Amino acid sequence: MSRASSSAGREDPRSMVETITIDGPLTWRDIAAVADGARLALSARARQRIIDARRIVDALVERGMRGYGINTGVGALCDVVISRDNQHALSHNIILSHACGVGDPLGRGEARAVMAAQIANFAHGYSGVRIETVEALLALLNADVVPLIPSRGSVGYLTHAAAIGLVLIGHGTTTQGTDRLSGSEALARIGLEPLRLQAKEGLSLVNGTPCATGQAALALTRTERLFRWADAAAAMTYENLGSQAEAFAEGPLALRQSPGLQAVGKALRDWLAESPMLAETAGRRTQDPLSLRAVPQVHGAARDAFDHVAGIVDRELSSVTDNPAVSGSPEAPRVHSQAHAVGAALGLALDSLAVAVAEVAAISERRIDRLVNPLVSGLPAFLADDSGVSSGFMIAQYTGTALVAENRRLAAPASLDGGITSALQEDILTHATPAAWKVLAILDNLERIVAIELLAAAQAYDLQPYSRGRAPRTDALYGRIRGAISTYADDRPMNEDFDRMRDLMRGVAP
């Protein structure tokens, strides 16, 4: 993989668009960059790998060598031999019959991520799709023509990818900016005709784990951002509640072996360095409650889980996840019916990430409760300046509790859902794509919960009984929050403030 920037107008830096060129395997960060708008290109070597693999498929067809989905039916129909004359119809029909997704479409970023992961899988050179097919996918992606991909109905792959394949054959629906286009209209807009799919292409276009890896890449980039915000929120709450900074001291934390713990401990020390508030309350308690004292241990464990999952997603992107794979040469073609399209590794990894994200959300809600609870905060009840007449953040904590409970339900393992499909031929399912979808849903809840904690912590600063200075970094973040959102006085719907805080969190890092 290599990166470059292209520009239509050199005088305007905003017109610079990053281009990621596939040579070797892409990483999850590359997929996330494409999801965010980067262009994608093939190196000369990647192009040649695709061309060479197609020659192998053509040789398999010419020799009449049996290959799953090349000259046989699919699923439980794998032993039905398809004549050469009908192999185009097989590929075409696979796309139409597998387009069974339902529900609201994926967002633009999610759809672009799936397309990028799909192209990266073909570029390994073991799938055998034609270079024209890959170039058509690239053309759609780089023109930001986004297929509408129904989000529901997948047990692992197939339906999401079929919605992309529909567009290539002139069916389906796309968006480009605010325009909504049929598949044929979208292809015409970028100067292409609907493709006539050849042997194996229909199966390859719906196969593999790109649906899960694409969405996993987005889950990872959102997790990374929100974990930083969770550290910031924890620091502000910790300072407000007069906690003991010794819990984050470098030496004692180093006694426990965890890269994530050490990283969070350093982040908290940086946030709280030179805090007059903590200096004043030093020594008042023997130790703080776990929701405050155990932030490095809990947030750190979640970061360690993140690192583990990121490695698995990168390994998946380095792997061929098509079935069958082809190898050899046109003179000695080989076809391999394996199970590389099964996303068990991704399903298990994403289930663990879901639990980690839910845990960070849960401890954030516990800190919110300590901020609003007058029995432990030392602050006005529910952070209301006129308690009784005003409810302040009372119900905001309810909202956080509800979202934590929803996360608990969502964090149940998708990889154990199982199921039997295709007349017992596909009799174990690992649900990697639904596992990725669950993580994205839990991340949405984490973002809302951390937004509430940040607002509650800012409100707590406003209500501190003594005029004590904040740490330089928490003071700067407090200023950013108050620059966008004023102190709450029961004078407006509170959920509007949540949305403003989420917008601020989606900008620059804390």
pLDDT digits (tens, 9 = 90+) for 155-209: 767 789 999 999 999 999 999 999 999 999 999 999 999 999 999 999 999 998 9
Give me the pLDDT at residue 66, please.
85
Give me the pLDDT at residue 417, please.
72
Question: Comparing 58-62, 198-202, 279-283, 434-438, which segment has the lowest mean pLDDT?
Answer: 279-283
Can you tell me the distance from the alpha carbon of 370 to that of 383, in angstroms, rounded to the nearest whole number?
Answer: 11
Give me the pLDDT at residue 4, please.
61
Give me the pLDDT at residue 10, please.
36
pLDDT tens for residues 113-154?
999 999 999 999 999 999 999 999 999 999 999 999 998 877
Can you tell me the distance from the alpha carbon of 332 to that of 329, in angstroms, rounded to the nearest whole number?
Answer: 5
Can you tell me the distance from the alpha carbon of 96 to that of 171, in angstroms, rounded to the nearest whole number?
Answer: 9
Residue 6 has pLDDT above 80, yes or no: no
Give me the pLDDT at residue 414, please.
84
Q: Which amino acid is at 71?
A: N
Global pTM value: 0.93
CB contact at 8 A, 404 and 361: yes
Give me the pLDDT at residue 8, please.
36
- Element (DSSP H or E) covering residue 498: helix 494-505
pLDDT tens for residues 225-269?
999 999 999 999 999 998 887 889 999 999 999 999 999 999 999
Tokens 């406003």 map to which residue? 462
CB contact at 8 A, 415 and 435: yes
CB contact at 8 A, 199 and 153: no
Give me the pLDDT at residue 269, please.
97
Of residues 132 and 15, the one with the higher pLDDT is 132
Question: Comparing 49-58, 338-347, 405-414, which segment has the lowest mean pLDDT?
Answer: 338-347
Give me the pLDDT at residue 11, please.
40
CB contact at 8 A, 447 and 471: no
pLDDT tens for residues 476-502?
999 999 999 999 999 999 999 999 999
Query: Residue 464's pLDDT band (boundaries 50, 70, 90)?
Result: very high
Q: What contacts 483, CB < 8 A, 6 or more positions away? A: none
Domains of the chain: 2-207 (1.10.275.10), 216-505 (1.20.200.10)
CB contact at 8 A, 443 and 223: yes
DSSP string covering 145-191: -EE--EEE--SSSSHHHHHHHHHHTT-SEEEETTEEEEHHHHHHHTT
